Structure 1
Amino acid sequence: MLSWYETVSGLIDLRSFSNLWYWIMLAVVWSSASHFVLGVPWDMVLRAKRQGGAAEEDLHDLVRVNVNRLLHIAETAGAGLLAIACFLLTTLTLLGFVYGMEFAQAVDLLAVPLTLVAWLSIRCARGIRKADGADLYRRLHRHRLVTQGIGMAAIFVSAFWGMAYNLGLHPF
């Protein structure tokens, strides 16, 4: 019979690539990232495009609020957030790929592509703020496709690296 400590340490295992929770979290994170485009649920975009009217007005309002919010954060705290993100990503990369910490590698393989998606979201938000409403659907769709592409590449690289790590093919 397993002790309480063995049960808890099995659930909170820092061996990420052999832990089912890491792979579940990876799938959920990328699924959510591609479903919420600039904070707007994709089903709302599709409904507004199909139905128009009130659904389209709601979409424009929600996009306006989220774009203004995202750009306000980027303009007021962007430099500080960039410095913190660079520090954390550098730390994770060094801990993971220089010092061989598996948990840092796993988090880095998740955080680096998400940082790229965040940068692209700010760029897309700036484009939406400058453009007129007719271009909105195209910009949201393109941003979603790029996010999905980054997510697929990130999942592939994580799976490849995790498989190599579990087979003992890592250089550490």
Structure 2
Amino acid sequence: MKGFGIFILIAGFCWMIFALNMDVSVSTGMGRVNNLGLMADRQVHTIVGGMIALAGIMMVIFGGKVSVSPASIPAQTDTRPCPLCAETIKNAAIKCRHCGADIEQATRSIPATGWTVRIPCRPGMEFDATQKIVSDEGLPCENPDGAVVVIGPYEKKNEAVEVLKLIRVNHSFFGELSYKG
């Protein structure tokens, strides 16, 4: 986005320079006089060029924040290729959604210790709904700790951070990181 903003900024400045160099006078029998219609065209082109340059400046300023989609990080670690068609499928899949082949579910080795994401919620329906959403996302759920849904554990902290971002962005769940030693 930042590179496109620089392009737009340069295009806007070039447009403004072109507009300011427009000849607005016309030849008459007694010399040259300014034409109001051409002056209005120059004014419009200058305003359009300025707006394009302003849009380019905004893209450069605010477009520099490139972020990776949080959903793509856990998907990379929670996926595998289908043994028949080689398309990417989830580890928990028992049927390929691309070719329809029946396949065995891959087992995830859960470390005994590591980083977990803990989502506090009220016992009952809220807890059940939260745990269902987390399991539908394909995230590993540990045994619940009272009224807390526990996701993980993960060997690396950044994996747990990405899961925390994923559930915050996709489902507006707020949780906390915890290390289970």
Name the TM tier (shorter chain). under 0.3
Higher Rg of the two aligned structures: 2
Structure 1 or 2: more helix by fraction: 1
Structure 1 or 2: more strand by fraction: 2
TM-score by length of 1: 0.27
